[in-house]
Amino acid sequence: MAIKQQFRNLDEVISGSDLPVLVDFYATWCGPCQMMAGILAQVNEQLKGQIKIVKIDSDKYPQLASNYHIAALPTLLLFKGGQPVDRIEGVLPTDPLVARLRGKLG
């Protein structure tokens, strides 16, 4: 499961991670975002030790959502080496999401 933590700066989390970071921009009122929560838990299990998942409530951090041009929820951004390498908007089932991420991790 994704770990809830407070941080001062998303850039610190992204650039300070030895693992690729998958950032999930969501909102508590968003139905598809709730579906993604379960999917991301499964993704985390399958890719344990290969990826770090961070969830960001776009209502609590609107400036971050704006900085990353988040127009739809949920939106997943994959960062590798501190740089964005993939963007996924909307719900993607577990198996296709894991396959897509594995293709970017290698």
Give the residue among 54, 56, 61 at the shortest CA–CA distance from 79.
Answer: 54
Question: What is the reported pTM?
Answer: 0.91
Spell out the domains of the chain, with CATH numbers in brackets: 11-105 (3.40.30.10)
30 has catalytic annotation: yes
Active-site residue, selected from the candidate residues 2, 19, 30, 105: 30
Active-site residue, selected from the candidate residues 33, 47, 92, 97: 33
Q: List the strands of the sheet with 83-89, edge to edge.
A: 52-57, 21-26, 75-80, 83-89
pLDDT tens track of the chain, all 106 residues? 455 555 567 888 898 889 999 999 999 999 999 999 999 999 999 999 999 999 999 999 999 999 999 999 999 999 999 999 999 999 999 999 999 999 998 7
33 has catalytic annotation: yes
